[in-house]
């Protein structure tokens, strides 16, 4: 886990990119935008405690949206590698 402060409008990740981890925002709001280029509609706003990018870690999908904070915001980033290691170490639950 790493902690860092993001500037307003700094890009956390872009739609279509491979997931590198997920984020937990400690303060402020993050907008998730449809698409990766140009003006895009906001599809979701996450506030403190939000975890943008987390859904993409549990399968092989790419990030479905672009994420940027509305204002400077502290966040914690959890990298993907340890999560993948846990997923492979724990046997799947049968249906």
Helix (H), strand (E) at residue 21: strand 21-25
What's 57's DSSP letter? G
pLDDT at 74: 67
Q: How far apart are CA 3 and CA 81, in angstroms?
A: 17
Dihedral sign, Cα of residue 38, residue 43, residue 46, residue 51: negative
Structure confidence at residue 2 as a pLDDT band (50, 70, 90)? confident
Q: How far apart are CA 95 and CA 6, in angstroms?
A: 41
Q: How many helices (H) and strands (E) does the chain have?
A: 1, 6
pLDDT at 6: 80
30-84 per-position pLDDT tens digit: 888 887 676 778 888 988 888 887 877 777 678 888 888 888 776 777 777 887 7
């Amino acid at each position: 886990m790493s902690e860092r402060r993001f500037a307003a409008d700094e890009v956390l990740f872009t739609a279509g990119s491979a997931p590198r981890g997920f984020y937990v925002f400690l303060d402020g709001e993050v907008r998730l935008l449809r698409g990766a280029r140009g003006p895009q509609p906001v599809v979701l706003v996450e506030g403190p405690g939000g975890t943008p990018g987390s859904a993409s870690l549990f399968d092989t999908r790419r990030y479905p949206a672009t994420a940027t904070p509305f204002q400077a915001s502290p966040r914690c980033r959890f990298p993907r590698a340890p999560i993948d290691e846990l997923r492979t170490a724990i046997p799947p639950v049968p249906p």
